[in-house]
Amino acid sequence: MNDREFINAIDADGLPLNIAVKNGRITHIGPQRAAVAAAETIDLEGLLALPGFVDGHIHLDKSFVGDRWRPHQNVATLRERLAVEKRELASAPPILDRADALIRQAATYGTLAMRCHVDVDATTGLSHLNAILQARDNWKDLIDIELVAFPQAGVVSCPGTAEILEAAVREGVQVVGGIDPTTLDGDAEAQLDIIFGIAERHGVKADIHLHEPGEICIAQLERIAARTRALGMQGLVAVSHAYGLGDVSEQVVDRTAQVLAHAGVSIMTNAPGEHAFPPVLRLRAGGVRVFTGNDNIQDAWWPYGNGDMLQRAMLVSYRSGFNTDEELRVALDMATEASAAVMGKTDYGLKVGNEASFLLFKAPNAAAAVAAALHERLIVRHGAFWGGPAILQLKAAQFSREMRR
């Protein structure tokens, strides 16, 4: 016998959906009722069921969520921004407290997993990492947090950082990061030697921040792809931002997409407000996995964000000019299945055998939910109602009544 069956839901296309659960896992999913009876039947009365969100790029150690509002400060250079950040963080509450606040907020919006970039370099040592490791442990039963050792201050240009990155991996970080090998570090080959050397020695993944423009970005992507292929790391390497892909011609994008797809290098974009950014549909058409994340949330870099990945999917859609249902579904995929694949999650999604964790919305289909960036939702974790943005304990019938007022 199943523990519970959720009936009369709809799927991403607006078609009938029923989900049966036993021991926190999906035993049946489809338009028909389960053949095996359930101890409890819950009528969802037409609510839309979607997989939980996966935030493919977030900085838990930087955010001021849980702190006072801090007005944004304009600067002229990256180094000035780093100085402002260091000054603001010095007067903020402890990293652990702020990270806990942001994880809690993301969880109430239905985020089940996230890839967190943590500042790890010769200027900060492992202090940020130690705090985020504790935060990850605090939330291990609700959110799967994959950690990236992120050398914000540079690798080659910040002596001692290579050793700190290696130490971070020994502490349990699953991904080694990099940043702007040419424009920040001034020596692309040297930085990539370090990053890929650590990845090869320790069997970890790589995720490199790339804010470099135009042809500099394209050349960097080609270097990264070549190293990925040479080490057999297909599917284990991502490039975050890759702004330069939004600066070049369609022909250059198509050529680069072939290179990236052949190497299995993924691209993360959060569709930032003031930058050109990768053309999502063109890259996907070329075989590149494109995923998304919130990136910075209310920190020294910008004042925006709340941790809601449905809102992020809407912003990606808006900035990309997505209007059709199919295009809006692409943005949802970037915030769910694509990000999950980059993290290597195998127990994810609305499939038989997987963890029975999903979200419920009052919407006719997934495209409508993305376009409206619906705030109200209900979270099911391991086959039981868990909560939502406003109310963390809510019975199904009560939720149905509230949603239909």
H/E stretch holding 266 reads strand 265-268
**Residue from 104, 117, 55, 72 nearest 270 by CA:** 55
190 with 156: CB under 8 angstroms?
yes
Q: What is the pLDDT of residue 274?
A: 83
Q: What is the pLDDT of residue 260?
A: 98
Give the Cα separation of 393 and 372 in Å (integer).
24
319 with 120: CB under 8 angstroms?
no
Tokens of 39: 């101890």
142 with 381: CB under 8 angstroms?
yes
121 with 151: CB under 8 angstroms?
yes
Tokens 């910008």 label which residue?
A: 302
102 with 113: CB under 8 angstroms?
no
Low-confidence ranges of the chain (pLDDT < 70): 387-405
Give the Cα separation of 144 and 315 in Å (integer).
24
Q: Does the predicted TM-score (pTM) go above 0.85?
A: yes
Q: What is the pLDDT of residue 160?
A: 97
Tokens of 22: 């036993």
Question: CA 355: distance to chain centroid?
Answer: 19
DSSP assignment of 186-236 equals S-HHHHHHHHHHHHHHHT-EEEEEE---HHHHHHHHHHHHHHHHHTT-TTS
- pLDDT per residue as tens digits for the range 292-302: 999 999 999 99
> Which residues are registered as beta bridge partners of 9?
17
**Residue from 111, 38, 46, 140 nearest 357 by CA:** 111
Give the Cα separation of 400 and 274 in Å (integer).
40
Q: What is the pLDDT of residue 391?
A: 44
Measured CA angle at 358 (ends 353, 359), to 5 deg:
165
- pLDDT per residue as tens digits for the range 338-353: 999 999 999 999 999 9
Q: Beta-carbon neighbour count of residue 160 at 10 Å?
A: 12
73 with 84: CB under 8 angstroms?
yes
Q: What is the pLDDT of residue 399?
A: 47
